[in-house]
Structure 1
Amino acid sequence: MGTFPGQKKRTILLGAENNALVGLISVTAVVFVFITFLRIGYYLSGIDESLFITQIFNWFALPAEPTKLLSRPWTIFSYMFTHSGVWQLISNMLWLWAFGYILQDLMGNRHLAPIFIYGGLVGAFFFLITVNIFPVLQQQINIIRPMEGAGAGLMAVAVATTALAPNYRIFPMLMGGIPLWVLTLIFVLIDYALIASVGAGTAVAHLAGGFIGLMYMKAVQRGADWGEWMHQLYHWFFHMFDPKKDAQQRKQKEKLHYKQGPAPFKATPKLTQQRVDELLDKISVHGYHSLSDEEKAFLKKASNEEL
């Protein structure tokens, strides 16, 4: 897909364990299939489309009116996985795959889902603030569509990935490739232009998502992990009824830590396939930027020589 100096490319397999990118796309696809199944049922029963919107779809999308939000608070979360149109779904998922692939390739699986969720939540907050605080939008609140789609979370992932590697080039076959920051800038400018319209709430939500993505990445680069509580919550929820699995996973992590821990301090007088495999495993779990300068130099040397 693209290139980044000093990186040895690895393939993110579709069924790989802890693949947050596949998880996000899968959840979004399942929600779309479920909603579309109900839409088909309404259509074949001869029920008007407007009834499907009010009775089904609007209970997944984020309403502009605070009174409606109080009756369906889960929409703050569900809206980011909800799409009404197949082309909207395909477009968002393709871009999520593009930016998410790069982010996971450089940093591992840990940060993608938290960045996406932070972007969606912050986007929801700013959507509600925007459409309810400005008089010109308040007057039109009855015609403002509920917010739907992965746009805010996608923008968070796009900006976070660009902040991490702004000069990462995609489509390298086209005159050396397009720097990632150029593509992200286009996204930002499109949403900026849409603020002067009835869709201002959604545009501001996307920009707010991008801003939180930037702040998240800056925090990671300072050594902070804003997604830790999400991982802890996920771990607690999915393992509270299965203590055996929890214990097995802890043993597996300890084994992995033992395997990877000594690598940065181990003397390696010559290139070995085992050493390369250890470093590639480390990238898969923790990301390229977890490598020390010595390890990055080793991989770069290994990529230029035949083991």
Structure 2
Amino acid sequence: MKSIWQDIRLVIQNPENGLWRLILANIFVFVVISLSHVFLSLAGKEDWYNQLLEQIALSSQPKLVLYKPWTFFTYFFAHFEVFHLVFNMLFLYWFGNIIHSFVGQKRLIQLYFLGGLAGAIAYILLLNSFSYFVMKGPIYLNGASASVFAIVVGAATLQPNYKVHLLIFGEVAIKYVAAFYILWSMIETTGTNAGGNIAHLGGALLGFLYAYSYQRRQSRRPVPEEKIYSYSMTVQKKIQDFVEQNEADEIEEDELNAILDKISTSGYESLSKHEKKRLFKASQKND
């Protein structure tokens, strides 16, 4: 057990392990929820467990959310079923690594949180905008699916032809994986988990917009080589101006002879601007 805690501590302390911090946070919350269920059930306090879930899951009713605004964030770290957790964490790991590799862990974490918030907004707005979804009482949303969908679609937008290995289909471009899950969520918006699938689509839309915006910003940046060349030319000009401002007015005979030898060998046009200026000064002196 000691070695396990040491491994977890190393993950938490390493600033480059943003992806694993997200995964560990989800696992930690799941363990706390599961153990709470066990202990409260044994104590005959299952109602307390239900109240706990209502404090971390996101209600479909805006009035209840206003009293518990923290649920906008806690819901996408809360899983109540182990397979829900495993499925989300696997996709978070696979596609999160792609995002981390191409745009860095800071944007990965941003995308996770923004995707979760986008899913929450879509969930509340749509469930309260169509009569088909109107419920007699509140329903609750939980799980990182909206955040994961944002990361999946974001990765597919940035690197659509990046391939992953699927056990049955072999190598598949991630754009097809993302397209499949978006289509499936659209079909299931009238199913038993309508609210969850609406949140998926909200996260997916955010993931696309985030990645598209990032690509647009990158395309507007100047090419690095051009910036280096421009900087180099600026420095060179400053050095040349400094030399010209501080050069001696008198031209030595050796310097003059070197310039004349260069003319005889390569012609007058081979002289630099500085050498032409020095030759002009020598001719004025001779006059």
Change (3 A) 1:45 1:216: same
Matches within 5 A, 1:219-258: 219-223=213-217
Greater length-normalized contact order (CA 8 Å, ≥ 6 residues apart):
1
TM-score by length of 2: 0.68
- Residue of structure 1 aligned with 2:34, choices 36, 48, 51: 36
- Residue of structure 1 aligned with 2:89, choices 65, 85, 93: 93
Partner residue of 2:162?
168
Q: CA deviation at 1:18?
A: 2.9
Partner residue of 1:216?
210
Change (3 A) 1:17 1:66: same
- Residue of structure 2 aligned with 1:109, choices 92, 105, 109: 105
Check the 8 A contact 1:122/1:208 in 2, yes or no: yes
The structure with the largest helix share of the pair is 2
TM-score by length of 1: 0.64
Given residue 68 of structure 1, which amino acid in structure 2 is its aligned partner?
L
CA distance in 2, matches of 1:111, 1:80: 17
| CA displacement 1:199-247 (0-9 Å, x = unmatched) | 32221221111111111111111227xxxxxxxxxxxxxxxxxxxxxxx
CA distance in 2, matches of 1:20, 1:155: 18
Determine what percentage of the aligned residue pairs are the same residue.
29
CA distance in 2, matches of 1:40, 1:104: 37
Matches within 5 A, 1:45-124: 45-48=43-46, 50-53=47-50, 55-124=51-120
Residues 1:134 and 2:151 are matched in the alignment: no
Partner residue of 1:246?
none
Given residue 28 of structure 2, which amino acid in structure 1 is its aligned partner?
V
CA distance in 1, matches of 2:24, 2:159: 26
Matches within 5 A, 1:184-199: 184-199=178-193
Residues 1:152 and 2:146 are matched in the alignment: yes
Residues 1:26 and 2:41 are matched in the alignment: no
Partner-residue secondary structure (3-state), 1:210:
helix
Q: CA deviation at 1:168?
A: 0.5
Unaligned runs of 5+ residues in structure 2 are 1-9, 219-223, 230-287
Partner residue of 2:195?
201
Partner residue of 2:265?
none
Moved over 4 A (4+): 13-16, 172-176
Given residue 200 of structure 1, which amino acid in structure 2 is its aligned partner?
A
| CA displacement 1:172-225 (0-9 Å, x = unmatched) | 89886111111111111111111123532221221111111111111111227x
Partner-residue secondary structure (3-state), 1:207:
helix
Check the 8 A contact 2:165/2:171 in 1, yes or no: yes
Check the 8 A contact 1:65/1:141 in 2, yes or no: no
CA distance in 1, matches of 2:111, 2:186: 21
Check the 8 A contact 1:64/1:141 in 2, yes or no: no
Unaligned runs of 5+ residues in structure 1 are 1-12, 225-260, 267-307
Greater gyration radius: 2
Aligned length: 213
